[in-house]
């Protein structure tokens, strides 16, 4: 391990906004019986100094630039960036400390362990920004799969929102299929966030046109709820997002509410989601985006 990483890891220990529980703590009762961390249900008091406000998570936050910018724009809310890479979180935690941002925290843990850290109704929104689409792996590794939605609803308040922003058309279409087979309210959906005027998802226009253009059929199972996109959806960008835009690559965006009674279902392949078809459209840029 290089001296640079060692220095960052040592400095991470000094940041009050960064929580770094050990895996041994979380797994004390085994993988299927995760031990609750003391911060669970107490983020406002323990990590935000009593600063009341909705809690918003960014899962797989990397260096935290998205979490930080959302926090700057919305001082009435509290933002938590989650990632397993300590060297990446160092940048976000250092910036938050230097700027004195009281409504920012970072959590270093595996996202599989997320239920050990948040209590029922404690979180209002989740951002999935440029997550690994896990093209060849089990779908249970995708952060928008039925398995992860089940985890999220344990702490996401009723009416809470999940935002998916990705350059992966594969992951976008997969997540849209998950929302549709579970009849989840879709609030907004576009396959080209910066390339055309907003059209509410309730009209079905954006998904239908996109699928027609690629020779796909629309399922027609879109919710009747819709709303205008918040300005931050376009104006706040990750490092990779800015890079992709400079290259002229499309960015997709999906916003939905995971409220659901009963177990979540994964889409059936290829009836609900043709994984082979969407995989062929992915191209080589996925490996580039995660270097």
Average pLDDT of the segment spanning 43-48: 98
- pLDDT the model gives residue 283: 65
- 289 falls in which pLDDT band (50, 70, 90)? very low
| Long-range contacts, 287-290 (Cβ 8 Å, 24+) | 289/130, 289/167, 289/240, 289/244, 290/132
The set of catalytic residues is 132
Average pLDDT of the segment spanning 246-255: 92
- pLDDT the model gives residue 286: 46
pTM: 0.88
pLDDT in tens, 67-98: 999 999 999 999 999 999 999 999 999 999 99
Angle, alpha carbons 178-278-226 (nearest 5°): 40
- pLDDT the model gives residue 154: 97
- pLDDT the model gives residue 213: 29
Classify each residue of 127-156 as buried b or exposed e, where b means 16 or more C-beta atoms within 10 Å of its C-beta.
bbbbbbbbbeeebebbbbbbbbbebbbebb
- 1 falls in which pLDDT band (50, 70, 90)? low
- pLDDT the model gives residue 226: 44
**DSSP 3-state of 188:** strand
Dig out the tokens for 198 from the structure. 């907003």
In the chain, the N- to C-terminal Cα span, in Å, equals 18
Dig out the tokens for 80 from the structure. 């938590």
Classify each residue of 70-99 as buried b or exposed e, where b means 16 or more C-beta atoms within 10 Å of its C-beta.
bbeebeebbbbbbbeebbbbbbbbbbbbee
Q: Strand 123-129: give its sheet, edge to edge.
A: 18-19, 104-108, 78-83, 55-59, 123-129, 156-166, 252-256, 186-190
Dig out the tokens for 65 from the structure. 């630039």
More confident residue, 282 or 38: 38
Burial environment of residue 25 by CB neighbours within 10 A (0 to 12, 13 to 18, 19 or more): middle
Domain ranges, ordered by start, for the chain: 3-289
More confident residue, 240 or 285: 240
Cα–Cα distance between 250 and 210 in angstroms, integer? 12
**Mean pLDDT for the chain?**
88
Helix or strand run (H / E) with residue 81: strand 78-83
Percentage, residues of the chain above pLDDT 90: 78
pLDDT in tens, 195-212: 854 444 433 333 333 332
Torsion angle of alpha carbons 217, 222, 228, 232, nearest 10°? Answer: -70
- 228 falls in which pLDDT band (50, 70, 90)? confident
- pLDDT the model gives residue 34: 95
Q: At what angle do helices 3-12 and 86-99 cross, to 10 degrees?
A: 50
- 237 falls in which pLDDT band (50, 70, 90)? very high
Homologous superfamily (CATH) of 3-289 is Vaccinia Virus protein VP39 (3.40.50.150)
pLDDT in tens, 154-183: 999 999 999 999 999 999 999 999 999 999
> 């600063």: which residue's tokens?
51
- pLDDT the model gives residue 285: 53
What are the φ and ψ backbone dihedral angles of 181, each rounded to 5 degrees? -70, -20
15 CB contacts (<8 Å, ≥6 apart)?
Answer: 93, 94, 96, 97, 106
Residues 18 and 12 sit within 8 Å (Cβ to Cβ): yes
Cα–Cα distance between 137 and 159 in angstroms, integer? 30
């Amino acid at each position: 391990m290089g001296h640079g990483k060692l220095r960052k890891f040592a400095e991470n220990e000094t940041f009050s906004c960064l929580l770094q529980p050990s895996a041994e703590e979380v797994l004390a009762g085994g993988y299927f019986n995760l031990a609750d961390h003391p911060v669970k249900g107490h983020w406002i008091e323990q990590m935000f100094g009593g600063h009341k406000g909705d809690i918003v998570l960014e899962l797989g936050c990397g260096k935290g630039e998205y979490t930080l910018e959302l926090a700057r724009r919305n001082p009435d809310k509290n933002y938590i960036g989650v990632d397993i890479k300590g060297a990446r979180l160092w940048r976000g935690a250092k910036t938050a400390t230097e700027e004195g941002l009281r409504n920012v925290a970072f959590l270093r843990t595996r996202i599989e362990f997320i239920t050990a850290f948040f209590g029922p109704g404690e979180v209002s929104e989740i951002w999935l920004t440029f997550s690994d689409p896990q093209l060849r792996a089990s779908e249970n590794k995708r952060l928008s799969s039925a398995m992860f939605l089940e985890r999220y609803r344990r702490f996401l308040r009723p009416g809470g929102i999940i935002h998916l922003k990705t350059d992966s058309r594969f992951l976008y279409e997969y997540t849209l299929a998950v929302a549709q087979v579970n009849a989840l309210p879709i609030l907004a959906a576009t396959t080209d966030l910066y390339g055309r005027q907003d059209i509410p998802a309730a009209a079905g226009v954006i998904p239908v046109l996109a699928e027609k253009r690629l020779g796909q059929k629309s399922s027609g199972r879109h919710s009747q709820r819709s709303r205008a996109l918040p300005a931050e959806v376009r104006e706040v960008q990750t490092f990779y997002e800015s890079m992709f835009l400079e290259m002229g690559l499309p960015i997709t965006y999906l916003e939905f509410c995971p409220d659901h009674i009963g177990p979540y279902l994964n889409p059936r392949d290829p009836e609900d989601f043709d994984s082979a078809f969407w995989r062929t459209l992915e191209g080589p840029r996925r490996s580039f985006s995660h270097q």
